[in-house]
Amino acid sequence: MPERSTIGVEAAVDALVTTADFFRAAYKQLVEEWSPDAPPVTIIFSSLGRSFCSHSSMSSKLALMNICAVIEELMSRGDDAVQDAVATGMLEAMLAESSAGRFDMSTLTPFLGTHTKAYCRAWDEFTGIHTPGLYDD
């Protein structure tokens, strides 16, 4: 069985920004703000995570499932830089929004994959937070 290739930063960003208009808009704004420099990859994923929190309630169940599938793919197949950026940028931003009461993470947890949930639970353990919905399975 052939080994699956890893996903690099550029492909990872592209995979997410092509899943939703709000991701494209957030990414475009971030690139403009940082121009002429490129934004750091963790900042990119943090911005996308906050955007996801802001727009998830207006997204269809199918859209949420697709986005969470891409996140899981990046967490499981991304290279080290991608996995670090998705975890410490995107997921931690989403968990921070949840713990601040600005986002209900439990609306996404049915769609989160095993790698994504494992990181979120580990972050909860590290921070002493118990994010609703992460422990219901």
Domain that holds residue 118: 9-127
The whole-number pLDDT of residue 137 equals 59
Which tokens go with 130?
């118990």
Predicted TM-score (pTM) of the model is 0.93
User: What digits encode the pLDDT tens for the residues 82-107?
Assistant: 999 999 999 999 999 999 999 999 99
What is the rounded distance in angstroms from the CA atom of residue 68 to the CA atom of residue 116?
A: 9
What is the rounded distance in angstroms from the CA atom of residue 135 to the CA atom of residue 130?
A: 8
In a domain, 134, yes or no: no
C-alpha 22 chain-centroid distance: 13
The whole-number pLDDT of residue 107 equals 92
Q: Which residues make beta-bridge pairs with 7? A: 78
How many other C-beta atoms lie within 10 A of the C-beta of residue 108? 24
In a domain, 21, yes or no: yes
Low-confidence ranges of the chain (pLDDT < 70): 1-4, 137
In a domain, 137, yes or no: no
The whole-number pLDDT of residue 1 equals 43
In a domain, 78, yes or no: yes
In a domain, 56, yes or no: yes
The whole-number pLDDT of residue 4 equals 65
Number of domains observed in the structure of the chain: 1
